[in-house]
Chains A and B, each alone.
Chain A
């Protein structure tokens, strides 16, 4: 008998669905839906109370309408009402509506929570499961607050039904994922881990997801799960296919659970206990052996399930990376799959081999499959598989096979799918650079890359080839020759023109001896491309021309003529016009010596990690390429001047280096910071917005006048300050911690809004350049307009004076008091230093209790003076303080009290 008999549905619902399906057009469908929505709305709003059955029918209709992609903005309340029904059908449809349509921010959550609470305590397993499902589906913070403590109890209680246990485990997992702080496992840990031993496989299936997630977050607390998982796995693997009955899937015992157990073990290093490890190795060997046995069924489901386990076992072997014997077997197994007729297996084998390629034990073994992988790249019909093949070639590449792999990838690029071209280009560029023994090969490769896939060559790639050519004398002549030849092609990519313009402008002289590439031929070749290029490229070419005038005086007249023509000197583009005008002037008034100095060959770029690699990492996401945080920071440091702004020699005229930097900016005259923006890394970026972090630091300076305000891998900012009456002077020191120059260094003092209103700050501008390792100083003059704590003047007074004043300031709003817990050491000397650092006078022998501190001072502002008296009473036993402030101005007492309470 079918579990769902088709006759007993809701007729009204069936009629509606049929109507929709019979609609001839989208318009008709929308019309019918709107009619139905109006009908339901009026039914819900109507006076007549709806019975549960009607509510259920209408809610089902709404669900259907929602599935068709129409917004549903009502019905939620009716669904919530259904939750409190005693009828299973109504309750169930209410929960369904809520799990599909209510998001975690809904205001209804409180009502829903109430219904859930009732169902959870109902002891009716069906209702409990419905409620647990609802929590797991919505998973909001409010739900976590309401149920996070209840669910572990249900999960481990002895009398809970298995089906409820399963739901409770996954429900708890969901809450742990959304609000880990609210799910406190502590006392439950061991009982949860022991669910791995549960009789019911379904409970283990659900629990293992929970345990895996908890183990990833708290590996130490859950490490007992390793031995339990190994013994469970061992029992499954060694069982006959009939032992596990319903959990045997197409003759494979419990495949899903086996996979999950193997995944759980991947959260941990190999077991230390010899016996456990031995048992596990046995399991892994059994799994590898089974792969070689003849299949027990011809059905694809059988081999699927078997291989699912096999791949997880291989992942675990790769993860352990410590058993050379198993690694080689894994590699051989994957090698077999590479040629399997099932596409899925070829795909997965390529993917697993990628991780295997990074293991020192198996790297060589992986390399033996190179021909198969190259063949896959060429012949696979499926782009997903080809992409995995490309990934694997990239992973298995080393010095010995780089030329072959790069050549294959290049030839694949000619026909590659558009979706993966950009990534392929980056990979080729990286491999070519990484494994280049002779740089002429590198130059050839990159120029080929531009020729084949110019549109996909990002700026990083062509910047990089220029950086390398400039830094390596031995390849400059070859690069000039090759790029000259490449430019001969009738249609060449604009990126080729850019590289050509730059390289010939720098090194054209190295090939000028050959009459076939004489200066004038070179110039004419470049200029023949000029009119087809975009503005930034034209700007770059103009700079190349002025470099030509310096390199080859004989081209001066021709080039000046070009610059002088209207299309240049009156070009509607400001940048081009300015360059034409300036270069023309420069070439006609400057002496040869000046010209030679201004247009000197570019000095070498500082060595740094390739920005291409950074781009690939970004493209693939942080997970795909393993990068440690440190490397990331280094990269940022390296890229600080990534565009290649070269300082003084670009200051007066936009030389080609400015193009490298500011290719996207409208007017990079000189080293314009705006143009640098696209490549300049915000030094604060790793700290997030700087303000909140410096704010935290700021509180340290209430009682201290100097120290370090901000520090990261790149930059240190120190502060030193002096205050006299209402005037203050603050020195900020910016230390460059890298070895690279910071160009276009800009600093704005952004005072926090509340202090800004009370201070008048004058900043002196600093030089925009900070040399590597150097420190510069900036002075800030500050005038205090209203009260500000650092402008304290100490006032010495005797005991009776103090008490007289204390009494004078007796109005309630003049006093502020706070009792708080000590945050720091309560050492007397430290406290004294802090109070003195504040700027007040510390008065001895005033307070009858010698443990207490009494201080007096005056805050000087532009317009007034505010007298302040302070009393600090430490209680060492309770580690508490009482702080009392009395000031002649009430707002000051309050503010000071708040500020100082954080200092002790």
Chain B
């Protein structure tokens, strides 16, 4: 099971946090910090797996991560998941984001947090993998965007927006 999915940048600023088990808000923030601390001090070209921090359950859990340019994508998983499988999943996630945002960059994640959550929800649900096929995921996201457009188009332009 996937326990948490975290995205933060090279300075540890969280860009997405999704927990599939309940923690208090405080603990969630501490976990993000701890995870950043563990992951960021590792050299490039070392392996992509390490034991989880104490807050998230220690050696029973693994952190599986990839570092893309300015962003770390970290999945915290238990022993029932295949490590390499999760690495592939991260890749699918990033490729999907890339397609949806057209050359995704950190700013996209910042300004479209809700979209990122939606895309993730098409892949992972309640800590389990729902779909790994990128085209299928994008089809779903596209359909949602169409619905959204048809709803917002009507009143978007006239609004004084603060």
> Chain A interface (Cβ within 8 Å of chain B)?
2-6, 8-15, 17, 21, 53, 57, 60, 63-64, 66-69, 71, 87-89, 92-93, 96, 100, 103-104, 126, 132-133, 136-137, 139, 163, 166-167, 170-171, 173-174, 201-202, 205-206, 209, 212, 246-247, 249, 255-257, 259, 263, 301, 304-305, 307-308, 311-312, 343-344, 346-348, 381-382, 384-385, 387, 620-621, 623-624
Contacts and interface: CB of A to CB of B under 8 A. Distances in A.
A384 B41 CA distance: 13
B140 interface: yes
Contact of B132 (A10, A13, A256, A381): A256
A301 B82 contact: no
B126 A139 contact: yes
A21 B110 contact: yes
A127 to B, nearest CB: 11
B126 A137 contact: yes
A9 B112 contact: yes
A206 B130 contact: yes
Contact of A9 (B43, B111, B127, B144): B111
Contacts of A137: 20, 125-126
Contacts of A5: 145
A384 B102 contact: no
Contact of A88 (B89, B112, B121, B148): B148
Nearest to B152: A89
B69 interface: no
A785 to B, nearest CB: 48
A3 B99 contact: yes
B113 A136 contact: no
Nearest to B45: A343
Nearest 10 Cβ contacts at the A-B interface: A136-B126, A308-B84, A2-B102, A382-B46, A174-B126, A343-B47, A3-B100, A11-B161, A209-B128, A88-B147
Given A167-B125, A256-B89, A344-B49, A4 B131 contact: no
Contacts of B92: 249
Given A67-B113, A88-B144, A8 B149 contact: yes
A219 B108 CA distance: 46
Contacts of A166: 130-131
B6 to A, nearest CB: 11
Nearest to B15: A67
- Range class of the B interface residue count: 35 or more
Contacts of A307: 84
Contacts of A387: 51
A74 to B, nearest CB: 14
Interface string B140-160: 111111011101100110010
A305 B25 contact: no
B50 interface: yes
Given A209-B128, A247-B132, 8 more contacts: A6-B101, A8-B156, A136-B126, A171-B125, A305-B84, A348-B84, A382-B43, A384-B50
A593 B80 CA distance: 66
Contact of A308 (B82, B125, B135): B82
A478 B72 CA distance: 56
8 contacts: A4-B141, A10-B161, A53-B155, A137-B20, A166-B131, A256-B132, A301-B88, A348-B49
Nearest to B42: A382
Nearest to A56: B114
A132 B125 CA distance: 9
Contact of A205 (B113, B121, B131): B131
DSSP class of B's interface residues: helix, strand, loop or mixed?
helix
B67 interface: no
B159 A53 contact: yes
B71 interface: no
B96 to A, nearest CB: 9
Contacts of B130: 166-167, 170, 202, 205-206
Contact of B143 (A126, A136, A381, A620): A126
Contacts of B17: 67
Interface of B: 14-18, 20, 22, 25, 29, 32, 42-43, 45-51, 58-60, 79-80, 82-85, 87-89, 91-92, 99-102, 108, 110-115, 117-118, 121, 125-136, 138, 140-145, 147-149, 151-152, 155-156, 159, 161-162
A308 B88 contact: yes
Contact of B152 (A8, A12, A623): A8
Contacts of A11: 161
A256 B85 contact: yes
Contacts of B114: 60, 63, 92-93, 96
A684 B119 CA distance: 51
Nearest to B95: A301
Contacts of B162: 12, 15
Interface-centre pick from B16, B59, B92, B129 (highest chain A CB count, 10 A): B129
A14 B91 CA distance: 28
Contact of A344 (B83, B99, B136, B138): B83
A301 B134 CA distance: 14
Given A2-B100, A170-B130, A87 B151 contact: yes
Contacts of A9: 111-112
A13 to B, nearest CB: 8
Contacts of A201: 133
Contacts of B117: 96, 100
B126 A347 contact: no
A14 B114 CA distance: 13
A263 B84 contact: no
B110 A259 contact: no
B54 to A, nearest CB: 11
Contacts of B133: 201-202, 246-247
Nearest to B148: A89
Contacts of B18: 100
Nearest to B23: A103
Contacts of B42: 382
A133 B156 CA distance: 28
Given A68-B14, A89-B147, A246-B134, A170 B88 contact: no
B128 A621 contact: no
A348 B16 contact: no
B50 to A, nearest CB: 5
Contacts of B142: 3
B154 to A, nearest CB: 10
Contacts of A126: 143-144, 147
B113 to A, nearest CB: 6
B145 A53 contact: no
Given A344-B47, A344-B87, A173 B128 contact: yes
A179 B60 CA distance: 23
Contacts of A385: 46-47
Contacts of B135: 246
B49 A384 contact: yes
A257 B42 CA distance: 31
A139 B42 CA distance: 35
B18 to A, nearest CB: 8
Contacts of B110: 17, 21
Interface-centre pick from B15, B115, B142, B151 (highest chain A CB count, 10 A): B151
Contacts of A8: 149, 152, 156
A128 B87 CA distance: 30
A17 B158 CA distance: 22
A166 B32 CA distance: 30
Nearest to B136: A202
A10 B112 CA distance: 10
Nearest to A166: B130
A346 B126 CA distance: 31
A28 to B, nearest CB: 15
Contacts of B149: 8
A884 to B, nearest CB: 50
A780 B76 CA distance: 56
A621 B126 contact: no
Contact of B126 (A15, A68, A171, A202): A171
Given A53-B155, A256-B132, A3 B22 contact: no
B101 A311 contact: no
A170 B126 contact: yes
